[in-house]
Structure 1
């Protein structure tokens, strides 16, 4: 099968991407709006950029119905701050519930019975149930279109990291205890520890 992207509707292009690039880590992003109302939403277009400076990025797509910016992006552009809450399997269902398009006035963290915890260096609350938090300041945002299927690249500078004490050992995070999950295509998620193997670089 040979496919030219320009021949695809955006929904079909999206399915092609998410069915090919996997598993994808999940950025469970908490933000606040100008009035201090908290928001939490998951994004699976997410990765690290570099260690010095410590930069991460994620990509919120435009809303599929009308091309509007999602609340997460609006809040980050307004406040310049956000927190990446790493998703463990124990909180997967609540994370998934936050993918629903709630009204901007709804505090998703409270709505799905997660717990807000004060961050150290940003005003945005972190989610207590998460075992790793990356407190970020907005470094740069790039926009790519303004219609359904378009999106933005949010680059954040990590200014504080919180790791649950039980996970942290000599500078490393114990992945078995973290139990992170990843996104596959459709409604499928995976625990990357289900099958792992090591390879040594020569």
Structure 2
């Protein structure tokens, strides 16, 4: 099968399969602080690491109407210069999903989802207390990408990781992180997710 981008329905595909193909994708569960000191928490399925020295991550808050302004996570990160990425896990899947709700500017996603937040060490935005891994980040820059719609923005926000929290039970006797014990979840296409419970190793030639 081949189809030209934007013409998937003509190929007999009722939904665009792009996000089902580029999968699984880590979920960036981003916590920020707004201008009045309120806590914002939102999941982004376009998220990943792009560098290890220094460690740099990105999240992409695309699809926002230009009329309504940029998304809160982006606005808060750019204004404050900081954000935290929290690991979304199987045990936190329902809470993560609830924080994707479109709440009003004075409403708190952590409160709506029943989540307790905990102070970070090096940045002002707090982290999700029950999340076993959190990355404290300093905002670096925002890149605007082309958009198929003149009415919607398409942005990528980059941050440098300056501090990392890891739950003690995830670190084995050799100092290696047993990430499968955390059961991180990832985004697929449509309304589908996956949980990581098994890994395998290969030596490079």
Unaligned runs of 5+ in 2: none
Report whether the alignment pairs 1:87 with 2:88: yes
1:120 deviation in Å? 0.3
Q: 2-side partners of 1:65 and 1:50: how far apart? A: 30
Deviating more after overlay: 55-64 vs 28-37: 55-64
Q: TM-score, normalised by structure 2?
A: 0.87
Q: 2-side partners of 1:7 and 1:77: how far apart? A: 36
Report whether the alignment pairs 1:200 with 2:203: yes
1:71 deviation in Å? 1.0
Match of 1:182 in 2: 186
Task: Deviation per CA, 1:35-85: give whole Å up to 9, x if none.
Answer: 111010001111111111111111111326956321111111111110000
Change (3 A) 1:145 1:32: farther
1:136 deviation in Å? 0.3
Task: Deviation per CA, 1:153-198: give whole Å up to 9, x if none.
Answer: 11100011010111123442112321111111121111122x5444
Alignment of 1:6-155 (within 5 A): 15-63=16-64, 68-145=69-146, 147=150, 150-155=153-158
Q: Which protein has the larger Cα radius of gyration, Structure 1 or Structure 2?
A: 2
Unaligned runs of 5+ in 1: none
RMSD of aligned C-alpha atoms?
A: 2.4
Count of residues paired in the alignment: 198
Task: Deviation per CA, 1:3-30: give whole Å up to 9, x if none.
Answer: 3336679xx9x93321210011101000
1:33 deviation in Å? 0.4
Report whether the alignment pairs 1:4 with 2:4: yes
Change (3 A) 1:105 1:137: same
Q: 2-side partners of 1:127 and 1:173: how far apart? A: 19
